[in-house]
Structures are given as C-alpha cells and as structure tokens.
Structure 1
Amino acid sequence: MITATANSISIATIRREGGDLIVDWLNQHQQSFYILGSCYLSSPQQIEEIFYRTILYAQKELPRFKSKMRFETWVTSIFVHNCREVSRDKSKESGARQGIFKALDQLQQDEKAAIVLTYVQRFTQEEAAYLLQVSVGKLKELLTSGIQKLKNEVWSGSNFHGCMEYQKDYLDYLEQTMERSKKIDLEVHIYGCQQCQEELAAFQDVISTLSNLTDRIEDLHMPTDLMENIKEKLKENEKYRQQKNKKRKRMGLVLGSAFAILIGIGFITGTFANLYYSWTEEDPELISFLQQDLGQRLNLEAENEGVKITIKSVIADDFQTLIFYEIEDTVEDSQYMMNYDNGMLVKNGFEIMNNSTYPRYYPPDLESDVNNREKNVYRGKVSMLPLNTDSATIEIQITGLYKLIRNSSESQNFMGYENIENKTGEWNFEIPVTKKPSTVYTVDEVIEIEGIPIRFEKLTVAPTATTIQFSINHGLTEKRINNLNLNNLEVNNKKMEADMYGNSYVDLQQDVNWTTFQTHFDPLFGEKPKEVNVQLESANLTFDIKKTIELDDNREYPQTFEYAGSTISIDKQEDEQSTNIIISNRELENRAYETFHYNFVNEYGGSSSAMEMNSEAVLVDKNGVTYELNQPDFRYEELEQPRYFTTVDSAKFYSENDIPKKMEIYGYQTTKYLDDVVKLSLKSQIKEKK
C-alpha cells in the first residue's frame, strides 16, 4: 500500500529527474495500484489503460504542479479520477465480479472513493478528505454509509442494525481515536446491546477485508507484462507526438459579402436565424440550440487513419457539457460514434470540470434521417462533465471510436459495445466554450405513496435539460421507497418525456431521513414556466418483512415455504466437493415480490460464506409480457415499465462449516405502478446562475 514511508518522493525530485521516474515509481508500486484499479474495474485491459492515462497526465501536468502534497497522493488522485471515469457504466462490470469487488460496485462514487482511499490505499482521513474535497466529518459519513452497504451486501445481509446514535462513533472507536469518556460510554452501551456488538464486529470485518486486499493480488491475475505493455504504448505515443503537426487545421465557413449583408439584415429584423441554420446545418436538434443562441458553430476538424471528426458545436450549462459531432469514414462505408467512458480523454478535466457529478448517457441514434442519408457519416452528441468555471478551452484527445453495426441486436443493446469493432487513432481538439445560465424555481409540494412522504423541491430550466428535484423520506422502519420514476413533465401544455437514463441521486447534506433525486427532461426552449404538472410512473419499494426458514435435513428436498403470498422452493444438491442450495419460484402471476434479501446462517450462528452465487431472472413489462434476459429480439429501452423478477438463486458452499442450517429473509423489493398527476406550484424564482 502507498504510505508515507522512505519510498515517499517529492514532486521536486520528480521534476529534477524527469518523467521517466514517474514510470519507474509506478512500476515499483504496480501491485498496489492494480488492486486500486480492481476496486473499480474487472478488465485487465481497462486497468492497463488507467495506468497509461495516469502516466500521460502526470508527465504533462508535472511542470505546472505547484501543490505541496506528496507525490504518491497526487498520482493516486489522478489514478482514481481515471478509474471513476471509466467505471461509470457499472452494468459492464457487475456481471463478472464477485464478493467485495461486486459489492464495491453498488456504492455511490464518493462512498467508494472514500473507502478505497482510506482502507485500500491507507491514506489518512485528512488526506482522503482533501482528495475528495470534503470535510473530515463528511468523509466519515461517506465511510460509515459505505461500510453499512458493504456489510449488508456481502456479510450479514442487514439482519441486525445497531443503535443510530452510536453508529457515528464506530470508526473512531475502531481506530482508537475516541476521547476516553466517549469510549467508556460506548463500551458500556455495547456491553448490553447485542445489535451494536454484531454491527461493530461487522464493521471491523469489512475494514479488515478491505485493508488486506493486498493478500489477494494472486486471485486478481495481474498480468506479468503490465508495465512492459504500458512502456511500449508510451514509446509509440512519444514517437507519434514528435511526428505530428503542432498546428491543427480548423475549417471555418466563409461567406460571400452579399450573403453576409443578408445575414446582417436578417439578424437585425430577427427573422433570418431559422432560415440561416436550416441552410447550413443538417442536425435538427443542433439547429434548435443554435436558433436559441445557446451554442455557436465551431466546425473544428481532425483526421487520422482515414476517419475525419468534426466538432460541430458545444453547449455547456450546470448539468453537462454537450458536444455535437460528425464522424466521416473517408475510406469505407462505416459509421462510428464517440463514447465518453472509453476512448475520450479530457486532458485538462481536473482543472475545468466538476468531477463530483456524472455526464448523461445518449445512446446511438441510427433511426434519424440525418444518420440514414450517408453510409459513411454519423452525426451524434456526447455528454461530458459540467464546467466548474464560466468559460474554458477543453482539451480533448480521442483515441478510440465505436463502429455502429446496423441490423444487429448487438448494435441496439444498451451499452453493448464490447463485441463491436472499434477504430483506434488519435484526434485532438481544443474547444472553446462558455457556460450558459440556468433558471431555478422553488417548489413546495408534498405527496404520499404507501404512506411515505415525497416532497418536490425545485424546477430547473437549463439550456440542455429541464429537471425536477424531489426528496423521499425513509424514516419509516418497515418500508421505504428506493426510487421514484416520473413519466412526463407538462409545462404550459407542452409535454416532455422523462429521460430514460436521466434519473440520478443528488448528494445533498440535509436531514438524514431524506434522500434527494433529480429527473431530467428535454430542454424547454424559450419557455417561462407557468403551469407545471408532473405525471408519476412507478415507485420501487422495499418492505422489511422478516422470516426465518429452518433447513431441515431430516425432511426430503425439495422443501417449500410461504413468503409474501408466494410458495417458494428450496432444493439441496450435494457432491463430494460442494453443497448447492437452490431457491426458486417461477410463478410470476400476482407475485408480490420481485426479489428478496436473505442470508444463510451456519450451525454456529454465523453467516455462511458461499463461494459461488448465481441467479436467474426475467423481465416482465406492464402488460404482463415476459422476456428472458438472453432473448435477442427485444430492446430494453422499448419495453413499457419493465420489472425485474428473480426466479432462481443458487449458492454453492465448499466448506463443511459453512453449510447453512437456516435462511433468514429480511425483506423484499417490488414495483408499484402509478398514474397520479401532481400539480406543482412555483413559489419563487431564484436568480439565474451559471
């Protein structure tokens, strides 16, 4: 692990010795950083790419670095930032990951970063807080909530909950940093509280497991030629950098003097803009932005490997930096798209972008007219992080593009790029951009669903999106709403569908009993909202209904039990090496639960640790039509409000001591369809902000 030891090295020394020392230093610490990368990614190729990006960025920024932080702290911050960028699409990783790494994928990004920095990389809480740009108090909150989730996911399955007033002290107690009086008070309480005893032990177990990930480096199968591959890529990059022309071509639209006069007259009268952009631009969505003066035509070009990329325009606001682009294959009839998570690097992203949020996802659009006119041209858009300043020049390096395959289920599946042929090369851009303001309206509307309060708080009208912010109360112990899906937003009789990929958690420091979310809708061009209605779609709920099932070996398997109105089967299969427990319920009609949370308990009363866990599930749309997950003839985004039903869970045990004697169910999740329309009263308008 990276600690402040004799191996620590100052940035001044690195500057004096040169960039090669960065490579040598990472070579010495490659195991530690490979484990760090594995906390975010399962692909060795992606982790190798993180090493490569980190070295390139560190070498580039080293001459301008003025901070007094330790070199290892600085490099780790770069490494973690790159990991977070690449791992945003969790669906690509979760299927192949198990145990602690799969559990880490379920955390919020700041929770994960706090945990890996503090317990995997073993930074002090002060250093970890500095890297995350939060207070030490906030860091402890992130650590506590993250450990709670890991405990529930991997260890105990949330069958016990310690006393809330003492949970905040667990970390200080385990790290032996508590004041004596508080320590005595906690120990007296723990002595008489079994729930806190068990939860504190689980906290210690989680922290110990995280701190000892170094011992599992062999299980991670770190490539033996990791650094050799990276050094070869660095050599190729340096060779190409020396050969390329420093001056990048920019093509501008040159207008004749008569046409320029016509434009001038048109802008003065306010009648020519629509015609002008319809003559000079093909993408109707981009035309709408340009007509509202929300962006400007750029037409920045770069060409490599027979592929020309043109940055058409950029629009920036508080939610994202939206780039419209065109990619032309000048050699073959192929269409390519850009993906922010892979193949794109914002070289100055640390300085100019807000890294505490996430860019929106826009799937490839092969249905539009503009992408069906030419076989070798694709016009699309890509979302990047929002700016943290009013204006900037974005330095982008593109090293990979994704080939779009028509008439193939692979090309249509959500983020299904792994098996699609990509295009490598290097395209560099410097993109000037100015952030546009947003208008925020306060809302004060409270409703209840299943007796759980939900309050609507804020309507934001931004150039690239309209958003509704709402909070869900989770103070009830027996049930809670995990997420609320909105169907559409109607403003001044104009209806806008909710963005399928635009529902997100908002990290706000407020009452601990409320969790805040934000739903995105299409932009509201030129509209000042007066009448605002939001239609609800569905709510995902958890009901904490507990049940213990004894696994009686004196009875013949399969056995059955009743839970949440369903009959569920348990089967037990044994061979010389293992015991496999199979839980199944394929009856979906009128089934109350979609999936339930459970834990196996061994004969000693502890949690049974399954070495292998697998599950089967189906999707069921609102009309009751069932879809197998491996079924190739449907697109998820076209299903009407699909629900995810688990049909089979299996757990394999290899140790005799782990063979479970009972199963404890803690609760179940389900979806409630809604069609309520909530009228929102706009209480006040907060001044426009950038």
Structure 2
Amino acid sequence: MDIEKMLQEKKKEYDHIEAPMEMEERLRSALKRQQYKKRFTWNSKAIAVVLVFFLFVGYHFDTFAYYGKKIMGYDSVMSESLKDLNQMGKGQEIGQSHTFENGIEVILDGIMMDDNQMLAFYRVKNLEEHLHNYHDHMEFKGLFKSYWMKSGMGNYIDDNQEEIVYIAAFDTPWMFERKLTFQYTLGKDDFQETASLSFTLDRNKAMGHTIKQNINKTIEVEEIQVKFEKITATPTQTLIEGSINNLLELVKEQMTGDLTRIGDMNIKLLANGREIRNQGAGMGMSTNMKGYTFRLAFEPLPQNMEKLEIQLEGLSVLRRPNMTIDLLEVELPQVIEYDHREIKIENIRVEKGNTYITIETEEDMTLLDVDLKGDNKSLKFIRTDTIDYDKKLDGTITHRRDIIFEGVEENLQLKIGQIVYTAKLQDNIISVEIK
C-alpha cells in the first residue's frame, strides 16, 4: 500500500474521534490561559520522514554500534594508522581488570589482531611510585602455546604518573585458539602476584592481510648475500622477511674461524616514492637452515599503491678475524689489509706508565675486543680516545685514535678480536611487483 494513502486514511479516522465533554472544557480553559504559540503541524510527509528514519536506524543499528565501539584512552601511544582502525571499531573490546594486593590495578581494555601480530591495549593504574620500581612480565596463554611480548610502548596519562597506558605486540594466535588468558605478573622485593584475565577470541574482528606474496630477490654486498624473501602487509603492519648467506657459509666460517655476523641493517621501504616509517621494534635475527634470517616491521602500506621498493641503505658487518699483529717500533708505521680495508698502526708511545697505540682506519671501522701482550703479561685495556678525522683526496674519511693500555711491556703483540664496519653498497634497490 502507498504510504501517503495509508497515512491519509488514518488521518480521517482520527478526525472522527470525539473527545469527552469534560476533556474539551479543560482544554479550552488551558488554552485561554496560554499565549498563542506557533506550532509544528505533523502533516503526512513529516510523519513519513520520521518513519523512514526509524526504519533505517533500526535496520542498521548493529552497524552504528560496531563503529561506535572504540578502545578509549590510547591516542598518546597509537600511530595514525592505529587511530584510523580504532575509529572504525576494528578492535575487540575485553574490559577485564585485576586489582593486586598492593592496590595497583591492571586493565586489559582490548586487542587488535591480523595476520602479522596481535596488539594488546592495557593499563596499569593506582601507582603510588614509578612502575619501573617493579619488575613485570606478561604473556597470553592459549590452549596450544604461550605468546610472548615482542615489543611495546607506554605513556603516563598525566603528570601525576598514577596511570600508564600500553600497547604491546604479540605473535598472532594460532587459528585453532578460541580462548586466551592474559597473564600479567607484577613483583617487587618479596611481593609477587599474577593477574589472569581470560576471554574468548572474536575471530570476526581479525583483519587478515592485504598483501601476502614472495619477493625472492637478492642484493649482494661485499660477498654477503641479502635475500628478501617475503612481504606480508596487514592493516597494522608491513612485515618483510629474508635471509643472509646460507648454512654452507656458516659451516665454512666455523671451519676457518673467521666468523661474520650482521650487526644491523638500515632498510627503507618506499611506497609511491614515499618512505614508510619503521615501527622501531628493531631487526629480529635468528639462525636456521637458511643461515641468518631477519624480520623487518614497518607501518601499514597506503591504499591505491602503484609502486613499492625496498632500499638497502646500510649493512653493519661484524667480523671475528682472530688477528695478531707483532708491533716492532722499527717497522712503524705499519699497514695491515683486512677485507679490502686498511688498518694503519702509526706509532707506540709511553705516557705516565701507560702504553698508547695510535691507529688509523676508515671512519666506519671500529676495532673491538683488543688485547695487548708483552714478554711477561697482558696489559689491561683502559679506553679508546679519538684524535681527529681526515678526508682523503678520493673522498674517503679516516679516523685516528689512541688505544690506551695500563702498564709497559717489551715485544708487544696486538690481538684484534672483532672488527665492525659498514659494507659498501652499489645496487641497493629492489622493486617489488605487487600481484
């Protein structure tokens, strides 16, 4: 039936309804006492609009409720991408708490979960002293395994420092996990107590991934192969995984004793030419059959992305050369070449009962775990002092410094346990084809 026609028929019925006589008299008296006010006429079109509005709201009530559910109070520790997800109601509300015997309270407000990680949003309040005076530990216990915190950040909500909010990252629970228990242990001196907050995972709130594909491209840096294997982009994180060298190289290092380790990698991720911010959790390194594997975490990728590149900016290499150098003053200065780099020993001198050895290397090279032996004993390392920097004609910058040892000996031998330097890069950009 046409709604306009239906409303007209109902109006006719109401027009024929007669009010009781006493009610009519009361209404007349009341109107006489009141000043005339312009009133809104509820015509058929206005009533139709109201009906349509209520029908629409009722039909979409779950949608309004979904977008209204946000994890409140964490803006100070949320990235912009997390704020956007929170505004869309992408988190699962938990809202459980535990009060310890000392009055401190921990509240698990909610979680966010996708294929890369699970984020926990929790608060610690009623702090009468700084939280760092306590030792704490947290994990999620599932039916099949425990999930440990990988990284996190917190911030006090005000200057009183009585409450602190945290976002902590954990591995994504296995797909068969239904229930999790958030265990937060707080301790100090002879006090220790564990809060256990259990809840059921809402898999409907899990966000999955937007990109999950292989890269399988390699950058070779001074005989070190850095292979980028896989990228997984989710609403909370972009994860790049890869490996360095392989098991054969590891075996070769163990046999020769000249070991190589990667101290750090400086990687940039560029989307449409703009850098995607690193999430700051550091580089996760481990050793397996592939050699050294790494996981690098970045902020989520933008929408409408046309071009994605990985740029290797720097590679910090740690070598264990097991090198011993005889220091004969008549042969100084002495130059030792190691891994296509020069270590120049300029002179040896004695000042106030201590032995000074002056060396020059490239700016980014550092000698570690150094030991100085003489005829009778080893001299104790004191410190390293910088003398100056020098720029050569070819643009190379060198660093001169004194290595200072306690005592004086004859027939010295300098043992270098570790050398750290930055590898030289050439072709250092990989284009990732998004499928």
1:445 to 217, 221, 230: 217
Q: Are the aligned partners of 2:343 and 2:359 in contact in 1 as well (CA < 8 Å)?
A: no
Task: Evaluate the alpha carbon distance shift between residue 381 and residue 675 of structure 1 in structure 2; reply closer, same or farther with a 3 A threshold.
Answer: farther
Q: Are the aligned partners of 1:302 and 1:308 in contact in 2 as well (CA < 8 Å)?
A: yes
Distance 1:537 1:472 in 2: 16
Q: Which residue of 1 aligns with 2:326?
A: 550
Distance 2:91 2:343 in 1: 56
Q: Percent identity?
A: 15
Report 1:269-348 matches (<5 A): 276-277=68-69, 281-284=72-75, 285=78, 287-291=83-87, 294-304=90-100, 305-317=102-114, 319-329=116-126, 332=128, 336=131, 342-346=135-139, 348=141
Q: Which residue of 2 aligns with 1:169?
A: none
Quote how far apart the aligned CAs of 1:519 are: 0.9
Q: Are the aligned partners of 1:472 and 1:481 in contact in 2 as well (CA < 8 Å)?
A: no
1:500 to 277, 280, 291: 280
Report 1:165-180 matches (<5 A): none
By percentage of residues, which structure has more strand?
A: 2
Distance 2:276 2:350 in 1: 51
What runs of 5+ residues in structure 2 fail to find an aligned partner? 1-53, 337-341, 392-398
Q: Which residue of 2 aligns with 1:531?
A: 307
- TM-score of the superposition, structure 1-length normalised? 0.40
Q: Which residue of 2 aligns with 1:469?
A: 241
Q: Are the aligned partners of 2:358 and 2:400 in contact in 1 as well (CA < 8 Å)?
A: no
Report the AA paired with residue 195 of structure 2. Answer: W
Distance 2:144 2:356 in 1: 51
Task: Evaluate the alpha carbon distance shift between residue 273 and residue 462 of structure 1 in structure 2; reply closer, same or farther with a 3 A threshold.
Answer: same
Quote how far apart the aligned CAs of 1:345 are: 4.9
Report the AA paired with residue 668 of structure 1. Answer: I
1:361 to 151, 162, 174: 151
Q: What SS does the aligned partner of 1:360 have?
A: strand
Distance 1:508 1:682 in 2: 28
Q: Does 1:522 align with 2:273?
A: no
Q: Does 1:399 align with 2:185?
A: yes
Q: Which residue of 1 aligns with 2:162?
A: 376
Report 1:11-30 matches (<5 A): none
CA deviation profile, 1:161-207 (whole Å, cap 9, x unmatched): xxxxxxxxxxxxxxxxxxxxxxxxxxxxxxxxxxxxxxxxxxxxxxx
Distance 2:143 2:190 in 1: 27
Q: Which residue of 2 aligns with 1:678?
A: 429
CA deviation profile, 1:260-306 (whole Å, cap 9, x unmatched): x96972654xx7755x256x623233544445664301111122323
What runs of 5+ residues in structure 1 fail to find an aligned partner? 1-258, 403-420, 575-579, 625-643, 685-690
2:227 to 446, 455, 459: 455
Quote how far apart the aligned CAs of 1:324 are: 0.7
Distance 1:494 1:441 in 2: 21
Q: Which residue of 2 aligns with 1:427?
A: 195
Distance 2:136 2:119 in 1: 17
Q: Are the aligned partners of 1:313 and 1:323 in contact in 2 as well (CA < 8 Å)?
A: yes
Q: Are the aligned partners of 1:537 and 1:675 in contact in 2 as well (CA < 8 Å)?
A: no
Distance 2:301 2:400 in 1: 36
Q: Are the aligned partners of 2:219 and 2:227 in contact in 1 as well (CA < 8 Å)?
A: yes
Task: Evaluate the alpha carbon distance shift between residue 572 and residue 678 of structure 1 in structure 2; reply closer, same or farther with a 3 A threshold.
Answer: same
Cα RMSD between the aligned structures? 5.2
Task: Evaluate the alpha carbon distance shift between residue 348 and residue 681 of structure 1 in structure 2; reply closer, same or farther with a 3 A threshold.
Answer: closer
Q: Are the aligned partners of 1:444 and 1:683 in contact in 2 as well (CA < 8 Å)?
A: no
Give the number of the structure whose alpha-carbon radius of gyration is greater.
Answer: 2
Distance 1:424 1:484 in 2: 37
1:482 to 253, 262, 267: 262
Q: Are the aligned partners of 1:535 and 1:675 in contact in 2 as well (CA < 8 Å)?
A: no
Distance 1:645 1:317 in 2: 50
Q: Which residue of 1 aligns with 2:28?
A: none
Q: Which residue of 1 aligns with 2:420?
A: 669
Report the AA paired with residue 362 of structure 1. Answer: G
Distance 1:422 1:281 in 2: 34
Distance 1:668 1:646 in 2: 15
Q: Which sits farther off after the overlay, 424-433 or 305-314?
A: 424-433
Report 1:579-594 matches (<5 A): 591-594=363-366
2:316 to 540, 558, 572: 540
Distance 1:398 1:544 in 2: 41
Quote how far apart the aligned CAs of 1:497 are: 1.7
Task: Evaluate the alpha carbon distance shift between residue 297 and residue 681 of structure 1 in structure 2; reply closer, same or farther with a 3 A threshold.
Answer: same
Distance 1:520 1:601 in 2: 45
Distance 1:507 1:389 in 2: 26
By percentage of residues, which structure has more helix?
A: 1
1:567 to 335, 341, 345: 345
Quote how far apart the aligned CAs of 1:376 are: 2.7
Q: What SS does the aligned partner of 2:60 have?
A: helix
CA deviation profile, 1:590-633 (whole Å, cap 9, x unmatched): 535212465667879xxx8x7x96564699xxxx9xxxxxxxxx
Quote how far apart the aligned CAs of 1:310 are: 1.3
Q: Are the aligned partners of 1:468 and 1:519 in contact in 2 as well (CA < 8 Å)?
A: yes
Report 1:65-80 matches (<5 A): none
Task: Evaluate the alpha carbon distance shift between residue 499 and residue 582 of structure 1 in structure 2; reply closer, same or farther with a 3 A threshold.
Answer: farther
Distance 1:671 1:565 in 2: 15
Report the AA paired with residue 382 of structure 1. Answer: A
Query: How many residues end up aligned between the 2 structures?
Result: 347
Quote how far apart the aligned CAs of 1:443 are: 0.6
Q: Which residue of 2 aligns with 1:634?
A: none
Distance 1:390 1:517 in 2: 27
Q: Are the aligned partners of 2:93 and 2:109 in contact in 1 as well (CA < 8 Å)?
A: yes
Quote how far apart the aligned CAs of 1:458 are: 0.8
Report the AA paired with residue 671 of structure 1. Answer: T
Distance 1:353 1:571 in 2: 58
Report the AA paired with residue 488 of structure 1. Answer: K
Distance 1:263 1:678 in 2: 54
Quote how far apart the aligned CAs of 1:682 are: 3.4
